[in-house]
Chain A
Amino acid sequence: MEDPTSFGYHGCYLRIDVSQGGVERMPIPEAVLRQFLGGSGLGAWLLLEEGDPSIDPLAPEAPLVFAFSPLVGSPLTTSAKFAVVSKSPLTDRINDSLASSGFAIAGKRCGCDAIVVVGRAAELSVLIIDDGHVRVEGAGDLRGATCPATQTGLKTRLGPDYQIASIGPAGERAVRYATISHDGRHAGRGGSGAVLGSKNVKAIAVRGTQRCEWAHPRELTEYSKSLSKRSFGPATAKYRELGTATNLLTFNRLGALPTRNFQSGTFEGAAEISPEQLRTTHTRTRASCAACTIGCEHIYARGEETGVRLEYESLFALGSLCGVSDPDSVLGASRLCDELGIDTISAGGTIAFAMECVERGWLEEPWLTFGSGEAMLRAIGLIGRREGLGNLLAEGSRRAAETIGHGSIAFAPQVKGLEIPGYEPRALQTMALGFAVGARGADHNRSGAYEVDFSDKVDRRSVTLDAVHRAIETEDKAALMDSLIICKFLRGVFGDFYAEAADMLHRVTGWDTTADELRETARRIVGIKRQFNLMAGWTLDEDTLPERFLNTPLPSDPTAALSREQLGVLVAEYHRQREW
Chain B
Amino acid sequence: MRVELLGVPRERAGVAELELQADTLGQLLAALVVRFPALNKLITPEGLEPSVVANLNGDRFVRDPHTQLKQSDSVLILSADAGG
| A326: min CB distance to chain B, Å | 21
Q: Are A253 and B4 in contact (CB under 8 A)?
A: yes
Chain A hits for B7, CB < 8 A: 238, 242, 246-247, 249-250
> In whole angstroms, how far apart are the Cα atoms of A251 and B78 in the complex?
11
Q: Which residues from chain B contact A421 at a C-beta distance below 8 Å?
A: 84
Interface residues of A in 11-28 (CB under 8 A from B): none
- Closest CB of chain A to B66's CB: distance in Å? 12
A235 and B49 CA atoms in complex are apart in Å by 9
Task: Say whether A311 faces chain B, with CB atoms less than 8 Å apart.
Answer: yes
- Whether a CB of chain A sits under 8 angstroms from the CB of B76 is yes
Q: How far is the CB of B74 from chain A (nearest CB, A)?
A: 10
B46-84 interface with A by 8 A CB criterion:
49-53, 55, 58-64, 76, 78-84
Q: Is B84 touching A312 in the complex (CB atoms < 8 A)?
A: yes
The interface residues of chain A lying within 8 Å CB-to-CB of B81 are 235, 238, 451, 454, 491-492
Interface size on B, residues (CB 8 A): 29
Question: In the complex, which of the residues A235, A250, A460 has the most CB atoms of chain B within 10 Å of its own CB atom?
Answer: A250
The answer to the question of B42 belonging to the interface, with a C-beta cut-off of 8 Å to chain A, is yes
Q: For the complex, is A254 an interface residue (Cβ under 8 Å from B)? A: yes
Q: Does B1 contact A (CB under 8 A)?
A: no
State the Cβ distance, A554 to closest chain B Cβ, in Å.
Answer: 13
A422 interface residue (CB < 8 Å to B): yes
B54 to chain A, nearest CB (A): 9
Output the residue of A254, A455, A491 with the most chain B CB within 10 A: A254
In the complex, the answer to whether B80 meets A455 with C-beta atoms within 8 Å is yes
Instruction: Given the known inter-chain contacts A253-B76, A459-B60, A488-B83, please indicate yes or no for A235 contacting B8, CB distance below 8 A.
Output: no
Q: Is A456 an interface residue (CB 8 A)?
A: yes
Chain A proximity of B2: nearest CB distance (Å): 12
Q: Is B6 an interface residue (CB 8 A)?
A: yes
Give Cα A355–Cα B80 distance, bound, in whole angstroms. 33
Find out whether the CB atom of B58 lies under 8 angstroms from the CB atom of A254.
yes
Bound complex: CA of A306 vs CA of B81, how far in Å?
A: 30
CB of B35 closer than 8 Å to a CB of A: no
Determine whether A444 belongs to the interface, using a CB cutoff of 8 Å to chain B: yes
Tell me the A498-513 residues at the B interface (CB within 8 Å).
Answer: none
Name B53's contact: one of A249, A448, A455 (CB within 8 Å).
A455
User: A395: CB under 8 A from chain B?
Assistant: no
A178 CB, nearest partner CB in chain B, Å? 21
A234 touching B82 by the CB < 8 A rule?
Answer: no
For window 1-58 of chain B, which residues contact chain A by CB distance below 8 Å?
4, 6-8, 10-11, 41-42, 49-53, 55, 58
B50 partner residues in chain A, CB cutoff 8 A: 234-235, 492
- For A430-450 the 0/1 string (1 means CB < 8 A from B) is 000000000000001000101
Query: In chain A between 229 and 263, which residues have their CB closer than 8 angstroms to a CB of chain B?
Result: 234-235, 237-238, 241-242, 244, 246-247, 249-251, 253-255
* A313 B41 Cβ-Cβ under 8 A: no
A: interface residue count bin: 35 or more
Residues of A contacting B76 with CB < 8 Å? 253
Please state if A311 and B78 are interface contacts (CB–CB under 8 Å). Answer: no
Query: CB distance A311 to B84 under 8 Å?
Result: yes
Q: Is the CB of B80 within 8 A of A247?
A: no
B62–A456 touching, CB < 8 Å: yes
Contact of A454 among B11, B41, B49, B61 (CB under 8 A): B61
Q: Which residues from 444 to 486 on chain A have a C-beta closer than 8 Å to any C-beta of chain B?
A: 444, 448, 450-451, 453-456, 459-461
Residue A497 lies at the interface, judged by CB distance under 8 Å to chain B: no
Query: Is A223 an interface residue, CB under 8 A from the partner?
Result: no
A249 to chain B, nearest CB (A): 6
Which residues of A have CB within 8 Å of B60? 456, 459
Shortest distance from the beta carbon of A482 to any chain B beta carbon, whole Å: 13
User: Roughly how many angstroms separate A255 CA and B84 CA in the complex, as a whole number?
Assistant: 16
Would A456 and B51 be within 8 Å (CB), given that A238-B8, A241-B11 are in contact?
no
Looking at the assembled complex, report how far the CB atom of A491 sits from the nearest CB atom of chain B, in whole angstroms: 8
Taking a contact as CB atoms closer than 8 A, the residue among A234, A444, A455 that contacts B61 in the complex is A455
Q: Name A203-247 residues within 8 Å CB distance of B.
A: 234-235, 237-238, 241-242, 244, 246-247
Query: Do residues B84 and A234 form an inter-chain contact, with CB atoms below 8 A?
Result: no
Which residues of B have CB within 8 Å of A250? 6-7, 78-79, 82
Expressed in whole angstroms, the minimum distance between the Cβ of B28 and any Cβ of chain A is 16
Residues of chain A contacted by B64 (CB below 8 angstroms): 456
Q: Is the CB of A422 within 8 A of B84?
A: yes
Shortest CB distance A448–B (Å): 7
CB distance from A90 to the nearest CB of B (A): 20
A538 within 8 A of B: no
A–B complex contacts, Cβ < 8 Å, 27 sampled: A234-B49, A234-B50, A235-B81, A237-B79, A238-B51, A242-B7, A244-B84, A246-B79, A251-B82, A253-B4, A253-B6, A253-B58, A311-B84, A421-B84, A422-B84, A423-B82, A423-B84, A448-B83, A450-B82, A451-B80, A455-B80, A456-B63, A459-B60, A488-B83, A489-B83, A492-B51, A492-B81
Task: Taking A246-B7, A250-B7 as given, write out 9 further A-B residue pairs in contact, using a Cβ cutoff of 8 Å, ordered by the A residue number.
Answer: A234-B49, A242-B11, A421-B84, A451-B82, A454-B80, A461-B59, A489-B83, A492-B80, A492-B81
Q: Which 8 pairs, one residue from A and one from B, show the smallest C-beta to C-beta distance?
A: A312-B84, A238-B79, A234-B51, A250-B6, A244-B84, A450-B82, A454-B82, A237-B8
